[in-house]
Amino acid sequence: MQNRRKFVKNILIGAAGISTLSSFDIINIARKEKLVKLTILHTNDMHSRIDPFGPNDKKYANQGGMSKIANLVEKIRNKEANVILLDAGDIFQGTPYFNLFGGEVELKLMSQMKYDAGTMGNHDFDNGIEGFNNVLHNANFPFLCANYDFSETILNGKTKPYHIIEKQGIKIGIFGIGIELDGLVDSRLYGKTIYNDPIESANKYATILKEQHECNAVICLSHLGYEYQHKTLSDKILVKETKNIDLIIKSFKIFNQQYSNSELRIVGVGSELKNLKNLAQKYRIIKNVLFLGQKLRSEIIDEYNSCSAFIYASNFETFGVIFVESMALGRPIISLSCGSSEEIIPEYAGIIVKKKTTEDMSNAMIKLHQDYSKYNPQKIREYCESKFSEEELSLKMIKEYKSVLINKW
């Protein structure tokens, strides 16, 4: 075994999408050798669109409408056993239904469709929190607002920060994150609602769901907006800021006490870079922590090839392309349990850390180092190729398309 182990955390290509699912996302979670399929259906920005758009609409002629959504949801539920139906906000405003009934119709229909949870968007405040409260009893599903504090408003105790759903022994934790209301919504409409930092709230409740409630998967139901041209906080930024790089540095400090010649190499840039450097300085491991900055694609491949393992500590991940990249080069992985990690990483390709603690993460680093000969690079590469090669993924996509077309016709 080499005396000098290099553990790499890539924060550049590790910023994959959070669970702001555009339509349908299917997650397979392995539990006790039994594969459980979860089908997650997601809507957002319905804007009181009870009926479809008219036949003369230039962009969405005869499309949309809750009746069509209900029909589609029913078809999927008839086909799939474990369906979760969610909404990410802006249910209200946009048609006369809202002007006449204030949201009552929307919530009644969503209840009939058996939505599992929703969160609030900025337009859900358009009748004020009093107006929202007046129709809230029509919803038989919870509204999740992890970063809105309603304690001094009429909505106190009527929303939840998170919700847990169980399907065939699989626990799914869901929390909601809302957009900043100041400057976007008339302050008279949201009153004494306190807006808390989305990043802090996301990290807080993801940790609670994973560690205290031992959820197998965590979904962030966000209404921040996917991406902006300016620096406004968005879903993409939220994902980058929930990577727990500080956890890796703190854990590496413990690892480095036993293996003083080890290196932690961090690739990428971000708003936390200065704080991370200060943290490495504080722990007196700055000589062993290399901040490599932005890298070209070819250079990132070189980093993979030069390291002994890849470390990932994000709260969230969807498919997990970075896992595939690491395994394609035969490198074992240490990852927090983040939904897709259990699905993608077999035991012989890495270690899944169940709890977000420095003790558990550092123990994983030490264990992988001590058992390094067990992680056969060729076996890891062959597994990756058999599951995630271009040919294999193409065949899977063709199969799914055929299934959809056959069911449709």
* Range scoring the smallest mean pLDDT among 29-33, 51-55, 132-136, 392-396: 29-33
User: Contact at 8 Å (CB) between 118 and 110?
Assistant: yes
pLDDT of 24 higher than 80: no
For residues 238 and 316, what is the distance between their CA atoms, to the nearest angstrom? 10
pLDDT range class, residue 405, cuts 50, 70, 90: low
Checking if the pLDDT of 199 tops 70, the result is: yes
* Domains of the chain and CATH, by start: 6-13+243-393 (3.40.50.2000), 24-240 (3.60.21.10)
Q: What is the pLDDT of residues 355-403, one digit of tens each?
A: 878 899 999 999 999 999 999 999 999 998 888 777 766 776 676 666 6
3-state SS assignment for residue 306: helix
- How high is the pLDDT of residue 13? 27
**With bands split at pLDDT 50, 70 and 90, how would you rate the model's confidence at 243?**
low
With 0-12 CB in 10 A as exposed, 13-18 as middle and 19+ as buried, what is 106? buried
140-151 core/surface letters (b: 16 or more CB in 10 A; e: else) = ebbbbbbbbbbe
What does the pLDDT average to over 175-196? 95
pLDDT, position 332 = 94
Average pLDDT in the 181-192 region? 94
Q: Which pLDDT score, from 0 to 100, does residue 317 have? A: 60
Query: Please, what is the average pLDDT of the chain?
Result: 83
Give pLDDT, residue 227. Answer: 80
| pLDDT > 70? residue 229 | yes
Q: Using the predicted structure, report yes or no on whether residue 27 has a pLDDT greater than 70.
A: no
Q: Please compute the mean of the pLDDT values over residues 339-365 and round it to a whole number.
A: 87
Complete DSSP assignment for 337-373: --BHHHHH--GGGEEEE-S--HHHHHHHHHHHHHTGG
Pick the residue with more confidence: 7 or 95?
Answer: 95
Q: Which long-range contacts (CB under 8 A, 24 or more apart) does 36-39 make?
A: 36/82, 36/167, 36/168, 36/169, 36/170, 37/80, 37/81, 37/82, 38/82, 38/84, 38/167, 38/170, 38/172, 38/217, 39/76, 39/80, 39/82, 39/83, 39/84
Provide mean pLDDT across the span 151-175: 95
pLDDT reported for residue 20: 28
Lowest mean pLDDT among 65-74, 136-145, 379-388: 379-388
SS3 222: strand
154 pLDDT exceeds 90?
yes
b/e code 282-308 from CB counts within 10 Å (16+ = b): ebebeebbeebeebeeeebeebbeebb
pLDDT at 357: 85
Please determine, for residue 262, whether its predicted confidence score (pLDDT) is greater than 60.
yes
What does the pLDDT read at residue 403?
A: 66
Q: What is the pLDDT of residue 3?
A: 37
User: How large is the average pLDDT for residues 30-49?
Assistant: 78
Q: What is the pLDDT of residue 401?
A: 64
> What is d(CA 285, CA 384) in angstroms, rounded to the nearest whole number?
34
Please say if the pLDDT value at position 178 is more than 90: yes
Helix (H) or strand (E) holding 236: helix 235-240
State the pLDDT at residue 158. Answer: 97
